[in-house]
Amino acid sequence: MDEITKIISAVRENFRFLTLEVRKQLEGVRAAIADPRESALRAIVTRDDYIDNLRSVIENKCYRLLGDARVERRSVDLVRAINTSTNNLERIADYCVNIVGQLGFLSAPQALTRFEYAPFVDELVKALDRVDQALFSRDLSGALAICRAEYRVDELYVEVFRRIMASLRAGDAPEDLVTSLFIFRYLERAGDCLLNIGEAIILAALGEKLKVSEFQALQETLAASEVGLDISDIDYEGIWETRSGSRIGAVHGHEGASDTRWVIFKEGRTGKVLEEKEAIERWQKLEPGLTPQIFGYHDHGAKASLLLEFLRGETFQSLVFDGGPELVRKAFAYSTRTIAQVWTRTLEREPIAPRFVHQLRKRLPDVLKVHPDLARERTRIGDFAIASFDELLERAAPLDELFAAPFSVMIHGDFNTDNIIVNQQEGRVHFIDLHRSTRFDYLQDVSVFLVSNFRMPVFEPRARAQLNEVNVEFYKFAAAFATRNGDHTFAARLALGLARSLVTSTRFQLDGRFAGAMFMRAEYLLEQLVAHLDRGAPWADYVLPEGVFTYW
């Protein structure tokens, strides 16, 4: 037995004592409610100090282990779960002390015993008895049983709550009823602690913190798919953060397992997940292999989940940051070749208005929550008046009706560079995160791509120069496509699209100075467009200002 294993074994011994003491607290509460003798109440309060000490001992040992570089990841996950479980067990014990304190406010013991309190304690104790074994053996079925106890305690609480409310409306001893409600609320919160413990065990088993609802979604989606991965034999790795609340992770068999294939699990709001499923299916018909395959879909009410093919490669964004010039040039060539192919294949000669000003206005409130001082007020310098940002948008509003692309194409809809996967070995690219895919103005994707590079808070000269070069070349690529297809308002529409993306992207940038630089560029573009509009000059003559999508 190595040193790490010995320490974990010692921690388990402390943990067993802790669970036993918390169990005694719950049993003590049951006895105290039935017969609130002073000695019984005092024993619960006294025992709390010992529980606090045990929690501190376990916590100290856990932190010492986490600081040891020799601890492998699975042991780290177990230690994290132990620490979370320990803190929640101590919290349950605290709630027992709080209940004892509340008993003193009852006019008579029977004021509480008229309600069913024993089932609460039964559920809590039964789940508590599972904790030690489930935690240290990383037992997923045991974790789910512990989580389900919280659901049953909630159901019990709802029933008691209704009865207490009915008695309060009848005017029956309100002081005792309110105190009783407080006591049952502490029991309900003890159930919440068990849910936290169950989810901590899921963390220890899978290597990722999942809510029980997310775990069940993963379990059901795997079961309904044909990928052949069993929930008890997988590792889960969260791989992307999203601003939409969706959970995205890579699922694969344990190292050394017979099946170690990787798939992507994505869970989020049903409407959004369904949109992505349908978009992927459309893209698969249009351009097979461009998007990940769908291995499974599961609708579970307000949320739904997808199992998707794990695409090998790197994001275009990571290549720009970490790759050399030759790698970036190759990735750029793969990407533009694919984009040109999609645009050409899906082009339909039907005018479509992107309405960039409307899009900007819709997102402006979220921008101003992050940067309330960005949008300028109306000011004067002598006789010279400077319009407020709202006034500038008002003057730019007619552009939404004037500007229309002469054709539509199939666009990605959220064409940030981290949504492009480049497989260098195969010389191809893939698209991900496609829930906004639709037939639209291609400059929606062009402006988002350019600003997704511009807004990167990267100021190291080499990396920034590479971002700038990619943007300049992508602009040339899009301009050449516009020329070939007779898009005479390309430059003006792109300027408006850039203004829209620059403003809306500031909400993801907390650096006030950099956000201000983005916002000022948007104002400059809007002012240029409004001036051109006021002059009545042909839009085909508009020239996009140089350097507006590069940063030095």
Domain boundaries, the chain: 3-207, 213-309, 314-541
Q: How far apart are CA 312 and CA 242, in angstroms?
A: 20
d(Cα 280, Cα 435) in Å, to the nearest integer?
8
Say how far apart CA 431 and CA 449 lie, in whole Å. 13
Are 3-207 and 213-309 equal in CATH topology?
A: no
Q: Is 239 helix (H, G, I), strand (E, B) or coil?
A: strand
Phi and psi, residue 263, nearest 5°: -135, 165
Torsion of CA 219, 223, 225, 229, to 10 degrees: 80
Mean pLDDT within 488-494: 96
Residues 480, 491: contact at Cβ < 8 Å? Answer: no
Q: What is the predicted pLDDT for the residue at 376?
A: 75
Backbone angles phi and psi of 251, in degrees to 5: -115, 130
pLDDT bucket at 525, cuts 50 / 70 / 90 = very high
If one compares 230 and 34, the residue with the highest pLDDT of the two is 34
Please give the pLDDT value at position 244.
53
Mean pLDDT over the full length of the chain: 88
Whether the per-residue pLDDT at 182 is higher than 80: the answer is yes
**In this structure, what token pair is assigned to residue 304?**
């739904």
The pair of three-digit structure tokens given for residue 60, joined into one six-digit string = 């100290």
**In which band, very low, low, confident or very high, does the pLDDT at 245 lie, cut at 50, 70 and 90?**
low
In this prediction, residues 114-132 reach a mean pLDDT of 93
Higher local confidence (pLDDT), 256 or 156: 156
Q: What is the DSSP string of 189-237?
A: HHHHHHHHHHHHHHHHHHSS---HHHHHHHHHHHHHSSS---GGGEEEE
| 59-73, 177-191, 536-550 — most confident range | 177-191
| Cα maximum dimension of the chain | 92
Written as one letter, the residue type at 119 is P
Q: pLDDT tens digits for 354-365?
A: 999 999 999 999
pLDDT of 37 reads 80
Asked which of 129-138, 330-339, 368-377 is least confident by mean pLDDT, the reply is 368-377
pTM for the complete prediction? Answer: 0.76
Q: Is the pLDDT of residue 226 over 70?
A: no
Residue 314, H or E segment: strand 314-315
Residue that the structure tokens 């579970």 belong to: 300
Give me the pLDDT at residue 340, please: 96
Mean pLDDT along residues 204-220: 82
Nearest CA to 482 out of 276, 344, 281 is that of: 344
Q: What is the pLDDT of residue 13?
A: 92
What is the fold of 213-309?
Phosphorylase Kinase; domain 1 (3.30.200)
Averaged pLDDT for residues 229-253: 69
User: b/e map of 129-143 (b: 16 or more CB within 10 Å)?
Assistant: ebbbebbbebbbebb
Residue 463 has pLDDT above 90, yes or no: no
Confidence of residue 216 (pLDDT cuts 50, 70, 90): confident
Indicate the DSSP class of residue 137: T
Q: Which residue has the higher pLDDT, 27 or 377?
A: 27
Confidence of residue 254 (pLDDT cuts 50, 70, 90): low
Comparing 62-76, 155-169, 315-329, 464-478, which segment has the lowest mean pLDDT? 62-76
- H helical segments located in 408-511: 442-454, 461-484, 490-505
Predicted pLDDT of residue 379: 74
For residue 505, pLDDT over 90 is answered with yes
Reply yes or no on whether the pLDDT at 223 is more than 80: no
Does residue 160 surpass a pLDDT of 60?
yes
Is the per-residue pLDDT at 210 higher than 90? no
Asked if residue 194 has pLDDT above 90, the reply is yes
| Of 9, 258, 308, 292, the residue nearest 132 (C-alpha) | 9
CB-based contact 117:180 (threshold 8 Å): no
Domain 314-541: what homologous superfamily? Aminoglycoside phosphotransferase (APH), C-terminal lobe (3.90.1200.10)
| Residue linked to tokens 């297809």 | 485
Looking at residue 241, what is its pLDDT?
A: 47
CATH classification number, 3-207, choose in 1.10.600.10, 1.20.120.1760, 1.20.58.220, 3.30.420.130: 1.20.58.220
